[in-house]
Structure 1
Amino acid sequence: MGKYLSDDSVGIIGIHGTGGIGKSTLLKHINNDFHRLITGRMFDLVIWVAVPHPVSIPKIQSQIAQRLGLSFSRSTGSDVPVNRQAKLLFRELSKKRFLLLLDDLRERLDLAMVGIPLEDPAENGKIVFTTRSSTVCTDMGADGTVTMKPLDRTQAWELFCSKMDPEDKVLENPSVRRLAEKVVDDCGGLPLLLIMVGRAMAGRSDPDEWKDVVRAMDASEEVPDRVAPLFALKLSYENLETDIMRSALIFCAMYPVGWELSRAELVEFWMGEGLLDGGDGIHESRKRGQALIDGLLYARLLEAGMTDSEHKVMVHDAVRDMALWVAEREDPEHGILVVSEEQLLTGVTMTERREQVIRRIWMRDLDLGVWSSSPIPNCPNNWTLLLNHTSVGSRLLSGFFRLMGSLRVLDLSDTELEEIPDEIGLLAELRYLNLSWTYVTSLPMALGGLVKLRQLVLAHTHLLRSIPREAIAGLSCLQVLNMWDCGYYWHDIDSSDASVAAAPGEGDRQLELCDLERLCQLEELHIGLGSSHAMGSITGFGMLCRCMRRLGLFRNREGLPPAVYGQGGAISRGGFDGSLMELPPVSEDGGRAWVGLLHVSLDELPQLEWLFLGECAGETTRVVAPPECSNVLRKFVVLRSDVLKVLKFVGRFPNVQQIYLENCRGMEELVLDGDDEHDDDGGAGRVRWWDSHFPKLRRIDLRFLPALKSIGRRPLFLPSLETLFVNGCPLLSRLPLHMNRAPKLREIVGEEVWWDALAWGGSNAGEVHNFFMRVFEPS
Structure 2
Amino acid sequence: MASSGCISTVASHIRQSLKDALQYLCVSGGSVHRDDRESIWRLHIAPRLPVWGDRIPKETLLEMGKYLSDDSVGIIGIHGTGGIGKSTLLKHINNDFHRLITGRMFDLVIWVAVPHPVSIPKIQSQIAQRLGLSFSRSTGSDVPVNRQAKLLFRELSKKRFLLLLDDLRERLDLAMVGIPLEDPAENGKIVFTTRSSTVCTDMGADGTVTMKPLDRTQAWELFCSKMDPEDKVLENPSVRRLAEKVVDDCGGLPLLLIMVGRAMAGRSDPDEWKDVVRAMDASEEVPDRVAPLFALKLSYENLETDIMRSALIFCAMYPVGWELSRAELVEFWMGEGLLDGGDGIHESRKRGQALIDGLLYARLLEAGMTDSEHKVMVHDAVRDMALWVAEREDPEHGILVVSEEQLLTGVTMTERREQVIRRIWMRDLDLGVWSSSPIPNCPNNWTLLLNHTSVGSRLLSGFFRLMGSLRVLDLSDTELEEIPDEIGLLAELRYLNLSWTYVTSLPMALGGLVKLRQLVLAHTHLLRSIPREAIAGLSCLQVLNMWDCGYYWHDIDSSDASVAAAPGEGDRQLELCDLERLCQLEELHIGLGSSHAMGSITGFGMLCRCMRRLGLFRNREGLPPAVYGQGGAISRGGFDGSLMELPPVSEDGGRAWVGLLHVSLDELPQLEWLFLGECAGETTRVVAPPECSNVLRKFVVLRSDVLKVLKFVGRFPNVQQIYLENCRGMEELVLDGDDEHDDDGGAGRVRWWDSHFPKLRRIDLRFLPALKSIGRRPLFLPSLETLFVNGCPLLSRLPLHMNRAPKLREIVGEEVWWDALAWGGSNAGEVHNFFMRVFEPS
CA distance in 1, matches of 2:793, 2:141: 45
Q: Are 1:336 and 1:361, in contact at CA under 8 Å, matched by a contact in 2?
A: yes
Cα RMSD of the aligned pairs, angstroms, is 2.1
Q: Are 2:758 and 2:783, in contact at CA under 8 Å, matched by a contact in 1?
A: yes
Normalised TM-score (structure 1): 0.97
Q: Are 2:151 and 2:178, in contact at CA under 8 Å, matched by a contact in 1?
A: yes
Q: Deviations over 1:690-716 (max 9, x none)?
A: 221111111111122111111110011
How far is the alpha carbon of 1:677 from its aligned partner? Answer: 3.0
Match of 1:459, SS?
Answer: coil
Q: Are 2:626 and 2:635, in contact at CA under 8 Å, matched by a contact in 1?
A: no
Q: Deviations over 1:240-279 (max 9, x none)?
A: 0000000000000000000000000000000000000000
Would the alpha carbon gap of residues 155 and 521 (structure 1) be closer, same or farther in structure 2, given more than 3 Å must change?
same
How far is the alpha carbon of 1:571 from its aligned partner? Answer: 6.8
How far is the alpha carbon of 1:35 from its aligned partner? Answer: 10
Would the alpha carbon gap of residues 422 and 778 (structure 1) be closer, same or farther in structure 2, given more than 3 Å must change?
same
Q: Are 2:164 and 2:191, in contact at CA under 8 Å, matched by a contact in 1?
A: yes
Would the alpha carbon gap of residues 342 and 538 (structure 1) be closer, same or farther in structure 2, given more than 3 Å must change?
farther
CA distance in 1, matches of 2:751, 2:101: 35
How far is the alpha carbon of 1:64 from its aligned partner? Answer: 2.5
CA distance in 2, matches of 1:544, 1:384: 30
Would the alpha carbon gap of residues 188 and 323 (structure 1) be closer, same or farther in structure 2, given more than 3 Å must change?
same
Q: Are 1:301 and 1:315, in contact at CA under 8 Å, matched by a contact in 2?
A: yes
How far is the alpha carbon of 1:340 from its aligned partner? Answer: 2.9
How far is the alpha carbon of 1:758 from its aligned partner? Answer: 1.1
How far is the alpha carbon of 1:427 from its aligned partner? Answer: 0.3
Would the alpha carbon gap of residues 568 and 702 (structure 1) be closer, same or farther in structure 2, given more than 3 Å must change?
closer
Would the alpha carbon gap of residues 84 and 774 (structure 1) be closer, same or farther in structure 2, given more than 3 Å must change?
closer
Q: Deviations over 1:176-230 (max 9, x none)?
A: 0011011111111111111111110011011111011011011112221417522
Q: Are 1:408 and 1:430, in contact at CA under 8 Å, matched by a contact in 2?
A: yes
Q: Are 1:749 and 1:777, in contact at CA under 8 Å, matched by a contact in 2?
A: yes
Deviates more, 1:686-695 or 1:672-681: 672-681
CA distance in 1, matches of 2:618, 2:702: 17
Deviates more, 1:462-471 or 1:88-97: 88-97
Match of 1:534, SS?
Answer: helix
Would the alpha carbon gap of residues 562 and 760 (structure 1) be closer, same or farther in structure 2, given more than 3 Å must change?
farther
Deviates more, 1:561-570 or 1:181-190: 561-570
Out of 434, 440, 446, the position equivalent to 1:371 is: 434
Deviates more, 1:158-167 or 1:412-421: 158-167
Which stretches in structure 1 are left out of the alignment for 5+ residues? none
How far is the alpha carbon of 1:727 from its aligned partner? Answer: 1.6
CA distance in 1, matches of 2:357, 2:248: 29
How far is the alpha carbon of 1:39 from its aligned partner? Answer: 16
CA distance in 1, matches of 2:104, 2:769: 30
CA distance in 2, matches of 1:637, 1:661: 6
How far is the alpha carbon of 1:721 from its aligned partner? Answer: 1.1
How far is the alpha carbon of 1:41 from its aligned partner? Answer: 8.8
Q: Are 1:480 and 1:524, in contact at CA under 8 Å, matched by a contact in 2?
A: yes
Q: Deviations over 1:302-347 (max 9, x none)?
A: 0000000000000000000000000001111100000132554523
How far is the alpha carbon of 1:617 from its aligned partner? Answer: 6.5
Match of 1:392, SS?
Answer: coil
How far is the alpha carbon of 1:166 from its aligned partner? Answer: 1.1
CA distance in 1, matches of 2:635, 2:722: 27
Q: Are 2:631 and 2:661, in contact at CA under 8 Å, matched by a contact in 1?
A: no
CA distance in 1, matches of 2:626, 2:66: 62
Out of 723, 726, 745, the position equivalent to 2:808 is: 745
Residue 385 (1) aligns with residue 440 (2): no
Out of 139, 142, 159, the position equivalent to 2:205 is: 142
Q: Are 1:387 and 1:411, in contact at CA under 8 Å, matched by a contact in 2?
A: yes
Would the alpha carbon gap of residues 335 and 488 (structure 1) be closer, same or farther in structure 2, given more than 3 Å must change?
same
Deviates more, 1:398-407 or 1:129-138: 129-138
Q: Are 1:635 and 1:658, in contact at CA under 8 Å, matched by a contact in 2?
A: yes
Paired residue total: 779
Out of 321, 325, 329, the position equivalent to 2:392 is: 329
Would the alpha carbon gap of residues 224 and 128 (structure 1) be closer, same or farther in structure 2, given more than 3 Å must change?
same
How far is the alpha carbon of 1:616 from its aligned partner? Answer: 3.6
CA distance in 1, matches of 2:764, 2:132: 16
Q: Deviations over 1:132-172 (max 9, x none)?
A: 12221221112232222222211111111111111111100
Out of 669, 672, 681, the position equivalent to 1:609 is: 672
Deviates more, 1:32-41 or 1:510-519: 32-41
How far is the alpha carbon of 1:435 from its aligned partner? Answer: 0.3
Would the alpha carbon gap of residues 29 and 182 (structure 1) be closer, same or farther in structure 2, given more than 3 Å must change?
same
Would the alpha carbon gap of residues 588 and 208 (structure 1) be closer, same or farther in structure 2, given more than 3 Å must change?
same
CA distance in 2, matches of 1:640, 1:111: 43
How far is the alpha carbon of 1:577 from its aligned partner? Answer: 0.5
Deviates more, 1:34-43 or 1:628-637: 34-43
How far is the alpha carbon of 1:504 from its aligned partner? Answer: 0.7
Q: Are 2:741 and 2:747, in contact at CA under 8 Å, matched by a contact in 1?
A: no
Residue 406 (1) aligns with residue 462 (2): no
How far is the alpha carbon of 1:593 from its aligned partner? Answer: 1.7
Q: Are 2:633 and 2:667, in contact at CA under 8 Å, matched by a contact in 1?
A: no
Match of 2:588, SS?
Answer: strand
Out of 720, 724, 734, the position equivalent to 1:657 is: 720
Normalised TM-score (structure 2): 0.90
CA distance in 1, matches of 2:506, 2:143: 37
Would the alpha carbon gap of residues 769 and 778 (structure 1) be closer, same or farther in structure 2, given more than 3 Å must change?
same
How far is the alpha carbon of 1:644 from its aligned partner? Answer: 1.7
Q: Are 1:35 and 1:747, in contact at CA under 8 Å, matched by a contact in 2?
A: no
- Equivalence for 1:359: 422
How far is the alpha carbon of 1:563 from its aligned partner? Answer: 8.1
Would the alpha carbon gap of residues 10 and 35 (structure 1) be closer, same or farther in structure 2, given more than 3 Å must change?
closer
Q: Deviations over 1:661-680 (max 9, x none)?
A: 11211111111100113676
Q: Are 2:455 and 2:479, in contact at CA under 8 Å, matched by a contact in 1?
A: yes
Deviates more, 1:9-18 or 1:584-593: 9-18
Would the alpha carbon gap of residues 613 and 2 (structure 1) be closer, same or farther in structure 2, given more than 3 Å must change?
farther
Would the alpha carbon gap of residues 81 and 571 (structure 1) be closer, same or farther in structure 2, given more than 3 Å must change?
closer
CA distance in 1, matches of 2:837, 2:551: 51
How far is the alpha carbon of 1:558 from its aligned partner? Answer: 2.1
Q: Deviations over 1:112-149 (max 9, x none)?
A: 11222222234333222111122212211122322222
Would the alpha carbon gap of residues 484 and 348 (structure 1) be closer, same or farther in structure 2, given more than 3 Å must change?
same
How far is the alpha carbon of 1:614 from its aligned partner? Answer: 1.4
CA distance in 1, matches of 2:226, 2:833: 43
Would the alpha carbon gap of residues 486 and 738 (structure 1) be closer, same or farther in structure 2, given more than 3 Å must change?
same
Would the alpha carbon gap of residues 466 and 67 (structure 1) be closer, same or farther in structure 2, given more than 3 Å must change?
farther
Deviates more, 1:559-568 or 1:67-76: 559-568
How far is the alpha carbon of 1:451 from its aligned partner? Answer: 0.3
Q: Deviations over 1:395-452 (max 9, x none)?
A: 0000000000000000000000000000000000000000000000000000000000
How far is the alpha carbon of 1:18 from its aligned partner? Answer: 1.5
Out of 786, 798, 801, the position equivalent to 1:723 is: 786
Would the alpha carbon gap of residues 558 and 80 (structure 1) be closer, same or farther in structure 2, given more than 3 Å must change?
same
Q: Are 2:85 and 2:211, in contact at CA under 8 Å, matched by a contact in 1?
A: yes
Deviates more, 1:396-405 or 1:190-199: 190-199
Q: Are 2:760 and 2:781, in contact at CA under 8 Å, matched by a contact in 1?
A: yes
How far is the alpha carbon of 1:292 from its aligned partner? Answer: 0.2
Q: Deviations over 1:44-78 (max 9, x none)?
A: 43322211222222222233333344444444433
Deviates more, 1:112-121 or 1:755-764: 112-121
Q: Are 2:68 and 2:100, in contact at CA under 8 Å, matched by a contact in 1?
A: no
How far is the alpha carbon of 1:561 from its aligned partner? Answer: 4.2
Match of 1:702, SS?
Answer: strand
Q: Are 2:719 and 2:757, in contact at CA under 8 Å, matched by a contact in 1?
A: yes
Match of 2:788, SS?
Answer: strand
Deviates more, 1:736-745 or 1:271-280: 736-745
Residue 422 (1) aligns with residue 488 (2): no
